[in-house]
Amino acid sequence: MIRLKDVEKEYDNGTYALRGISLTIEDGEFVFLVGPSGSGKSTLIKLLTGEILPSSGRVIVNGFSLTKISDRQIPLLRRSIGVIFQDFRLIGKKTVYENLSFAMRAVGSSPRTIRTRIPYVLKLVGLEEKADQYPHELSGGEQQRVAIARALVNNPMTIIADEPTGNLDPARSLEIMRLLNRINELGTTVVIVTHERDLVNRFRKRVVLLENGLITGDGIGYDAK
């Protein structure tokens, strides 16, 4: 569960990115976070992953209180979240399989768990054939599916995606959204930041609208606000 209460974020240079946000996302929800450029969407995501701290207010993610989290607990919080970015962030000199095993190794998974988990996740994202390819040998959509597989591989409670389709054509974007929808149906909470109104409207899901650091809309469908 994600719960924000009166959250404000002022960056060191004085920019007010968030101006008092309260938001609750229950386990198992699928939420689009939309809004114009500079409205504070990425700021909100960074608060959830513990990359930055709120200036005031309370942030609770999967049982961790981000306002008083200790350095030792940050890794545990991050293991409960799978993060996906617009630019994929794969390791170029590792194969698809190695990119996934790298993420599992990093949290101390045993070789046996790694061997059984990776084929399962690759099958889920439809890349079982591509395990031994390098990222540059894949299309953008495929690379993003590897990134999704990596976000899933440690079995997180929540998937958070910051403009996952920003680099993809409409057909690939739809594919990625369908995949994330399917992952949500398997029980993972999914939060997606996106600019693509058409795409959002194809799914009848909860949409949270952020404008100028404030939530100005929250309902089903982009135009429901």
Ligand X SMILES: Nc1ncnc2c1ncn2[C@@H]1O[C@H](COP(=O)(O)OP(=O)(O)OP(=O)(O)O)[C@@H](O)[C@H]1O
Which residues sit at the interface with ligand X, rule CB under 6 A?
11, 13, 15, 17, 35, 37-43
* Binding partner selected for residue 76 from ligand X, Mg ion, other proteins, none, CB under the kind-specific 5 to 8 Å limit: other proteins
Which residue, 104 or 207, has its beta carbon nearer to other proteins? 104
Q: Token digits for 119? A: 């084929």
Among 8, 102, 128, 214, indicate the residue that binds other proteins (CB under 8 A). 102
Under rule CB under 8 A, residue 129 binds other proteins: no
Kindly state the smallest distance separating residue 94's Cβ from other proteins, in Å. Answer: 9
Kindly state the smallest distance separating residue 196's Cβ from ligand X, in Å. Answer: 12
Q: Token digits for 173? A: 């974007």
Environment class of 75 (CB within 10 Å of its CB; exposed 0-12, middle 13-18, buried 19+): exposed
Residue 71's contacts (CB-CB under 8 Å, 6 or more residues apart) are none
- Which of 133, 166, 203, 182 shows the shortest CA–CA distance to 37? 166
Residues 143-202 interacting with other proteins (rule: CB under 8 A): 150, 154
Cβ neighbours of 68 (radius 10 Å):
9
Residues 107-126 interacting with other proteins (rule: CB under 8 A): 107-108
Cα separation, 82 vs 149, whole angstroms: 9
Under rule CB under 8 A, residue 106 binds other proteins: yes
For strands 2-10 and 158-162, give the pairing.
Answer: unpaired
Under rule CB under 5 A, residue 165 binds Mg ion: no
* # residues contacting Mg ion (CB under 5 A): 1
Span near Mg ion by CB under 5 A; candidates 35-43, 63-71, 115-123, 133-141: 35-43
* Binding partner selected for residue 133 from other proteins, Mg ion, ligand X, none, CB under the kind-specific 5 to 8 Å limit: none
Q: Give the 3-state secondary structure of residue 57.
A: strand
Which residue, 120 or 198, has its beta carbon nearer to other proteins? 120
Cβ neighbours of 171 (radius 10 Å):
8
> Under a CB-based contact definition with an 8 Å cutoff, are residues 201 and 221 in contact?
yes
Cα separation, 15 vs 19, whole angstroms: 10
Under rule CB under 5 A, residue 42 binds Mg ion: yes
Residues forming contacts to Mg ion in the complex (CB under 5 A) are: 42
